[in-house]
């Protein structure tokens, strides 16, 4: 979302936030399609497999190395000053351009679930999304991984804005305050859950993955689509069911639990 040019009240309108979540579905599906064209390429995820330019004792994986380098340059152009962007690595350098004046929408918080996103991505998504084996495209693989991880992270941390919008609803606020004071996580989760929205999301996601995963060939008289899909649709739906929605809710709950702190 463009927090600078948009009106601050738009940033916490639940319908507008949900539109952003819908748009991010496209970003995530296309990022997964891009990653799925390469093999699993285990070497990208094995610690100490490569010699890095600054051999300063770094013995992480090739992906960790690449991600930390990408995040350093993104930090310099102030990516992580945006209230919807959260880095996976650190410490990061200061921006080389002056800070922007973001409207203060969220209560101050340090919530960052990127470790959980990384774990799910590496343990569940990559092995089921990609063909087994090694095609040596390590640079392309890591580049696509970073795009998938960044899109997932942005989507999931949007939960903070969604939680703020829900908290500000005058009809719901007394209940939220009561549950937050009682530290009643179960009641908070029930209050913020909207099963109909989740069901509609999963249906839409399946259809999008089916459509975006096809090639379209045009001949003079009609449009033809291929039967062979570029992505396993079930995996996209499962990613949302088992990771994206639960982690978004976790972010929402964490945010609300700290909402009344000074
Ligand atoms: O749209 C909302 O109300 C959200 O809180 C987001 C979200 C989601 O992750 O998509 C999470 C919880 C709700 O049950 C519905 C959807």
What are the boundaries of each domain within the chain?
8-257
Contact indicator for 212, 33 with CB cutoff of 8 Å: yes
Residue to mutate (ligand 1; options 193, 204, 241; most atoms within 8 A of CB): 193
Distance 75 CA to ligand 1 centre (A): 29
Position 56 scores a pLDDT of 63
Q: How confident is the model at residue 54 (pLDDT cuts 50, 70, 90)?
A: low
pLDDT tens for residues 88-115?
999 999 999 999 999 899 999 999 999 9
Name all residues whose Cβ lies below 6 A of ligand 1. Answer: 18, 21, 162, 192-194, 197-198, 201, 245, 248-249, 252
Report the predicted TM-score, pTM, of the whole model to 2 decimal places.
Answer: 0.94
Domain 8-257 has CATH 3.40.50.150: no
Task: Write out the two tokens for 70.
Answer: 């990408």
Residues sharing a CB contact under 8 Å with residue 92, sequence separation 6 or more, in sequence order: 71, 72, 75, 80
pLDDT tens for residues 191-244?
999 999 999 999 999 999 999 998 877 665 666 666 688 899 999 999 999 999
Q: Helices 159-168 and 245-257 meet at what angle, rounded to 10? A: 50
Distance 245 CA to ligand 1 centre (A): 7
What is the chain's mean pLDDT, rounded? 93
Nearest CA to ligand 1 atom 12: 193
Q: Can you tell me whether residue 13 is helix, strand or coil?
A: coil
Position 226 scores a pLDDT of 65
pLDDT tens for residues 61-81?
999 999 999 999 999 999 999
């Amino acid at each position: 979302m463009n927090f600078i040019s948009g009106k601050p009240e738009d940033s916490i309108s639940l319908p507008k936030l949900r539109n952003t979540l819908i748009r991010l579905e496209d970003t995530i599906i296309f990022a997964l399609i891009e990653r799925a064209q390469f093999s699993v390429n285990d070497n990208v995820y094995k610690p100490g497999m490569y010699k890095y330019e600054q051999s300063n004792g770094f013995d992480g994986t090739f992906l960790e190395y690449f991600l930390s380098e990408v995040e350093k340059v993104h930090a310099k152009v102030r990516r992580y000053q945006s209230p919807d962007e959260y880095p996976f690595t650190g410490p990061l350098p200061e921006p080389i351009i002056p800070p922007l004046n973001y409207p203060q929408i969220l209560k101050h918080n340090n919530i960052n679930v990127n470790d959980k996103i990384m774990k799910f991505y590496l343990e569940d998504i990559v092995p089921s999304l990609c063909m087994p084996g090694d095609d040596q495209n390590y640079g392309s693989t890591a580049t696509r991984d970073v795009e998938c991880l960044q899109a997932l992270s942005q989507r999931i941390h949007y939960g903070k804005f969604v939680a703020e919008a829900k908290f500000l609803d005058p009809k719901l606020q007394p209940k939220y305050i009561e549950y937050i004071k009682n530290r009643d996580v179960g009641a908070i989760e029930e209050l913020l859950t909207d099963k109909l929205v989740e069901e509609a999301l999963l249906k839409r996601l399946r259809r999008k993955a089916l459509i975006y995963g096809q090639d379209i060939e045009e001949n003079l008289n009609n449009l033809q689509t291929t039967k062979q899909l570029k992505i396993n649709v079930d995996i996209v739906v499962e990613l949302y069911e088992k990771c994206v929605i639960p982690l978004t809710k976790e972010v929402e709950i964490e945010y609300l639990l700290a909402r009344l702190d000074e």
